[in-house]
Chains A and B, each alone.
Chain A
Amino acid sequence: MIRIKIRRFHARREPQELVQEWEVKEGSTLLEALTSIKCEKDPTLTFRSGCRSSVCGSCAVRVNGKEVLACAYKPKEGDLVEPRRFAKVIKDLAVDESEAFKTLKSAKAWLGEPKEDAVVTPEDEKRTERQSDCILCSSCYSACPVLETNPAFLGPFALTRDWRYVADPREGDIKGKIDTIQQNGVWDCTLCGECTAVCPQGIDPKSDILMLRTKSTQMGHVDPNMGSFGSFGLDF
């Protein structure tokens, strides 16, 4: 047996927040551990789960400050389990997911204007195979430091999904997609790579955002950071 700590939250309890320690079986997944606590010891423990096999994206939490899927992580002695960031905690490990999901709509992350006669070669498909492995677990969103200062930032997964469609030969309105992600989008990213480090599917949103920046420049958009630097030079 090992001991893990869980940060719990309940709006109608005093104190609202507390850290509890539990004994769990060594070698099982964190999701198995959470389930056994709920079913055998404390049915009030609240978390989301689903497929148990890392495809549904329900169970992402933070362990020792790093996002993991509970179903794909084996806890170690002393681990601290917490809810994801940049989402209001509803109860314990369950956060309000709606803000993160809304970024998909803001980024218009879908095939905008399907091209009728497009041919998708194996190479085309491979180019964004990884990006389309995304399970929308919001791990990258929780890890993104830009959201600390700019809650309106579209965030990593929505931008990766935009790139997945921009790079698709079936997309007939690349300009429309690119125009949508100029504000609070590609240029707000600091390229720190925290998203890439936590993605359970090995997706690299940072490089997708770089690709989108290149595409943006090609389409006549200007890096606003460069712009301000330039004017600073002139003023001086």
Chain B
Amino acid sequence: MSDILVIGGGGAGLCAAIAAKETGASVSVLGKTYPTRSQTSMAQGGINAALGNVGEDSIEAHIADTLRSAHTLGDENMIRRLCEKAPEAIGWLDSIGVPFSRLEGGRVAQRRLGGAGSERACYAQDYTGLKILHTLYDRALGMGVEFLDELFMLNFIVEEGRVLGVTAIDIGSGEVRAIGAKSVVVATGGYSGLYRGFTTNSSATTGDGVAAAVRAGCVLSDMEFVQFHPTALKRSGILISESARGAGGYLLNSRGERFIDELKPRDVVAKAIWEQIESGEDVYLDIRHLGEAFIEENLPQERKLAKLYEGVDPATDLIPIKPVAHYTMGGIEVDPNHMTKVKGLFAAGECANAYVHGANRLGGNSLLETVVFGREAGEGAALFAREYGSVSPASSAQFEKDRDFVAAIPQFTNQIDFYEKRDFMGKIFYRNVGIVRGEMGLKGVLAAIRQMQKELPFMGIADKSREFNTNLLEFIEFGNMVELAEIVLVSAIGRNESRGAHQREDFPAEDDEKFGGVHSLSWKEQGVLCNEFEGMR
């Protein structure tokens, strides 16, 4: 048993693991994939820090931009901490070997992303997330962090309000195991996977950790806030980085007209594109004028993906795009030390809501959050482990329940195809819980989701084998998705206003009097979903 168990090996999980390991603790990282396959690998644009290496910048400006974009749902203290620690975070990443793009003289190169007043995003071509993630992995391996790869976490083991470990399926063997720890960091990523078919995210981003957290007694907050990335490839939802617009790319409609300042925050640009598409226009990203040499040097991934999925070469053709789900601002509520309502259970990265993104995240701030808050969560977990030590679970109830559940799934009748339901959920979420929402649509989707919850026992799996059963894992993921879908909907229905990424056609104005600074909270009591808007006037 390790002192600290980290769930999820993306940017936040690895930073937590490294920071905890630095204190001398023993650390294990458990994940359903290998760490380098995490969502972080897909981050392209950059990581923000007010270094001022290219244009003039200041930490105060970084704070102000982040606060503005959060639309009153950001916590100034947390944002200040994030922005103040940003230069130090870049310095640390640099010291462990991250191959950032450079300026003459060796300083880290920076570029401008949407919503930022300056060239603030440090980058490594368009592989920023990939290169940070891999360097973190190398570092963690070098430090002797233990990796429990391809273990799928089912639930947290909680007794008397304290986490004691997790239950997980060993994917290769199919065996259910209980893994104990003195403290746990959950860093499992967001839930954009609810929008299957309409998301930039990996097919693995199904919100498993967030769903397990709410079952374990954590509070989820601001779950209605889902960021739509303005520019994903039309057919596949594959991301075309914001840096394409940052470098001077245009958005055009079918008539070849520009219709929005391309560098506005993502919520504004996504909505403008959505309105064009709803009025019957096709929308394109045009980067032809940047020139082939620039595209090859700075946007090689984009070029490759546009060719593969749309059959167009951005150097000579327009790129057909649409906005799709990209990042979930909501998540597990944490205190300023990143601890959840469950003692000893910390959360960091996209799965957490540390109140720095609020109603709309700025490009370049999520990688920053994974590093700064990931490290803080790891330090907090190490401190907790030292202070409170290990406790042996009084019962093996959670393990037995989960083992029996996994053993029972192959007996489910499988009369309803969950893959079909999963695609259907993606479609109705995109149409009705998307960029522009309305009460009727939201309530319709809620009814459909509640029906799916009832139908789960009539779904099931065709693959009855134990070893590497992806059919079984995807069914469990679908269960997590359905659980979170209800929470997103209830929160979205309750917020009768438009704010940041939550745009309501029936309540088009920001209602500061009623909802300014008000967070939606969701939790479960005896399995029943409870929801309130904290301090609503």
Contacts and interface: CB of A to CB of B under 8 A. Distances in A.
Interface stretch (A94-102, A140-148, A212-220, A222-230): A94-102
A1 interface: no
A234 interface: no
Interface in A59-109: 72, 90-91, 94, 96-98, 101, 104-105, 108-109
Contacts of A50: 33, 37, 202-204
B347 interface: no
Contacts of A187: none
Tell me whether chain A's interface is mostly helix, strand or loop, or mixed.
loop
Contact of B97 (A11, A55, A165): A165
A72 B308 contact: yes
Contacts of A48: 33, 470
B130 A55 contact: yes
A105 B143 CA distance: 10
Interface stretch (A18-26, A131-139, A189-197, A203-211): A131-139
A46 B473 CA distance: 11
A125 interface: yes
Contacts of B202: 50-52, 56
B102 A52 contact: no
A129 interface: yes
B467 A97 contact: no
B131 A132 contact: yes
A51 B42 contact: yes
A182 interface: no
Nearest to A111: B97
Contacts of A151: none
Instruction: Give the interface size class of chain A.
Output: 35 or more
Nearest to A59: B37
A171 to B, nearest CB: 8
A129 B41 CA distance: 16
B138 A161 contact: yes
B134 A134 contact: yes
B430 interface: no
Interface string B292-319: 0000000001001100110000000000
Interface stretch (B278-286, B372-380, B457-465, B485-493): B457-465
B106 A121 contact: yes
Given A50-B33, A98-B149, A112-B142, A43 B463 contact: yes
A149 interface: no
A110 B142 contact: yes
A55 B301 contact: yes
A155 to B, nearest CB: 16
Interface in A163-207: 164-165, 168, 170-171
A104 B140 CA distance: 11
A218 to B, nearest CB: 22
A114 B141 CA distance: 15
B37 A120 contact: no
B461 A43 contact: yes
A164 B138 CA distance: 12
A108 B142 contact: yes
Interface string B205-240: 000000000000000000000000000000010110
Nearest to A164: B99
A11 B174 CA distance: 13
A104 B139 CA distance: 11
A161 B137 CA distance: 12
B467 A135 contact: no
Nearest to B44: A55
B461 to A, nearest CB: 7
B106 A96 contact: no
A128 B97 contact: no
A10 B465 contact: yes
Contacts of B125: 129
A132 B123 CA distance: 13
Contacts of A165: 97, 138
Interface of B: 33-34, 36-39, 41-42, 94-97, 99-106, 124-125, 127, 130-131, 134-135, 138-139, 141-142, 149-150, 172, 202-204, 236, 238-239, 301, 304-305, 308-309, 419-420, 423, 461-463, 465, 467-471
18 contacts: A10-B465, A38-B419, A43-B462, A52-B202, A53-B238, A54-B305, A58-B37, A94-B468, A97-B149, A97-B150, A108-B142, A110-B138, A111-B138, A120-B99, A121-B102, A121-B105, A121-B106, A132-B131
Which 9 residue pairs across A and B have the least CB separation, nearest first?
A110-B142, A110-B138, A111-B97, A39-B419, A119-B106, A44-B463, A43-B462, A56-B37, A91-B468
